[in-house]
Amino acid sequence: MELLDVSAPLFSVTEVSEVSGISRANIDLLVSQKLIRPTRRVKVARPVSTKSRGKPMFSARAAFIVRLIRDLHSLGLSYADSAAIADLTEKATLSKSEIVKNSNESLIRLLELADGDWIAAFAKNPSRFQTDRVFGYASRLRAKWSVGLCMVATRASDQSVGAAPKIFVPASDIFFDVYAACSALVETL
């Protein structure tokens, strides 16, 4: 299997809907409310009277965010809160100390090459999903979300984000599901 460029805008709203499990109408709503951003817009032929910014196209990274929004929303969070957490999780990096404590040398090198960007590192070596897992955790304190990543779920509970309850998600498992579905879509093209 050829590696998927996780930042390339390859997927339509319909395909992201299929991959994420969110209806096309809800994805359109999230885009219109600016809770998610298409990776790119592609110009399409339209009648002169329509004001269109173009057809939204999404990357596998963006599809991951949409899927994470769905999973968080299913826990009872609003779409706005789910989108805030998903966006922060996608942008979060693993600290070097977290990587060293819980990984072997090959993952450490991959993460160093990717400047701690766990999605880029895992996308360069999808087999890592079977052995190394990344968990996201979020907590809301004083109306602000705090998000972090760790390699071991129990260690996330040790992270100090105040006394507020925490939400834990298996971020790498969710990303792997999205990555596999996006790869399968690309292979059918």
pLDDT of residue 161: 47
Cβ pair 30, 79 in contact under 8 A: yes
pLDDT of residue 19: 95
Cβ pair 83, 29 in contact under 8 A: no
Strand partners, 93: 117
In this predicted model, what pLDDT tens digit does every residue of 35-89 receive, in sequence order? 999 999 887 666 655 566 678 999 999 999 999 999 999 999 999 999 999 998 8
Query: Number of helices and strands (H, E) in the chain?
Result: 9, 5
Q: From CA 126, how far away is CA 107, in angstroms rounded?
A: 11
Per-residue pLDDT for 100 more than 70? Answer: no
Global pTM? 0.83
Q: H/E element holding 108?
A: helix 105-113
In this predicted model, what pLDDT tens digit does every residue of 135-187 receive, in sequence order? 888 888 888 888 888 776 555 455 554 556 778 888 888 999 999 999 999 98
Residue with tokens 């999780």: 89
DSSP 8-state secondary structure symbol assigned to residue 36? S
Q: From CA 145, how far away is CA 182, in angstroms rounded?
A: 29
